[in-house]
């Protein structure tokens, strides 16, 4: 028998190797934090889809962001930045800061409207549903494919096609962002408004700041919009060299069409 050390009784090798039953029970009932976060996110998304209007609110946020972008673009033009291919993407990145601020205000607005003790929300949180499958792109039907230029076109014919492709790509990005509004508000709302209540109820620590969540869900759309606007601006700079804005470029192109006819 091994000797006891101090007041601690000696244990045999078999006793030392045997795990405590309470520890086993804790390990068995402790869920994965990521699964708990995913369950809360799905519950909030369904809650907002049923009780609120996330797509309408995000459309309003995008509209206000566009107005801010117009003011930013005009200010940059007045400051001497005439090249559209440079001014438009810079406008996008500056307006993105406005967008993030509006999203934060949107969450604060929803925070005042949502009752954490709502039975409908609690019922959704208690559901132990399976994670929804994530749609994976095959690489064959991306919105970037809209920019494919048919072979056999000369440089003059490519520019209008690139311009049209850029506009269609921007519309696709806009539709994609608005369509994902419930997911965006659910994740940001989870990190901001109910962080204390929901995380405490689910025994999970907060894992991400709301700003990081918002950027993670939207940065790819912003980069895509900046690239497409830069491409559209470059096309307009070549097709309408006397213009320094999209409105003037369209007017110049219409005048060129009348002259040819």
Q: Under 8 Å CB-to-CB from 113, ≥6 apart: which residues?
A: 52
- Top mean pLDDT of 39-48, 70-79, 128-137, 162-171 is at 70-79
Lowest mean per-residue pLDDT among 76-90, 133-147, 177-191: 133-147
pLDDT, tens digit, 9 for 90 and up, residues 109-160: 887 777 666 777 667 767 645 445 444 444 444 444 444 444 444 445 577 8
Please give the model's pTM, rounded to 2 decimal places: 0.69
- CA nearest 187: which of 51, 41, 58? 41
208 CB burial (10 A radius; 0-12, 13-18, 19+)? middle
Count other C-beta atoms under 10 Å from residue 148's C-beta: 9
Above 60 in pLDDT, residue 28? no
- pLDDT at residue 45, rounded to an integer: 80
Q: What pLDDT score was predicted for residue 36?
A: 67
Q: Which of 36-45, 150-159, 169-178, 248-257 has the lowest mean pLDDT?
A: 150-159
**Burial bucket for residue 167 (CB in 10 Å: 0-12, 13-18, 19+):** middle
Q: What ranges do the domains of the chain cover? A: 31-130+152-260
What is the CB neighbour count within 10 angstroms for residue 161? 15
């Amino acid at each position: 028998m091994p000797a006891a050390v101090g007041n601690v009784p000696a244990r045999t090798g078999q006793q030392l190797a045997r795990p405590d039953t309470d520890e086993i029970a804790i390990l068995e009932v402790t869920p994965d934090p990521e699964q708990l976060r995913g369950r809360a996110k799905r519950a909030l998304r369904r809650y907002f889809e049923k009780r609120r209007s996330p797509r309408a609110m995000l459309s309003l946020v995008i509209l206000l962001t566009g107005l801010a972008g117009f003011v930013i673009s005009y200010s940059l033009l007045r400051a001497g930045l005439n090249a559209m291919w440079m001014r438009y993407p810079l406008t996008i990145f500056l307006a993105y800061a406005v967008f993030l601020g509006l999203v934060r205000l949107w969450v604060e607005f929803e925070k005042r409207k949502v009752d954490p003790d709502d039975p409908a929300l609690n019922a959704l949180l208690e559901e132990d549903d399976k994670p929804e499958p994530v749609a994976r792109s095959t690489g064959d039907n991306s919105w970037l494919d809209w920019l494919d230029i048919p072979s056999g076109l000369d440089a003059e014919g490519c520019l209008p096609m690139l311009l049209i492709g850029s506009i269609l790509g921007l519309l696709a990005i806009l539709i994609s962002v608005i369509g994902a509004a419930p997911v965006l508000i659910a994740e940001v709302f989870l990190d901001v408004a109910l962080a204390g209540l929901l995380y405490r109820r689910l025994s999970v620590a907060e894992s991400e700041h709301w700003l990081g969540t918002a950027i993670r869900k939207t940065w790819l759309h912003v980069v895509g919009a900046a690239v497409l606007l830069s491409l559209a601006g470059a096309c307009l700079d070549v097709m309408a060299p006397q213009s320094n804005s999209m409105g003037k470029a369209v007017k110049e192109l219409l005048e060129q069409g009348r002259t040819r006819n």
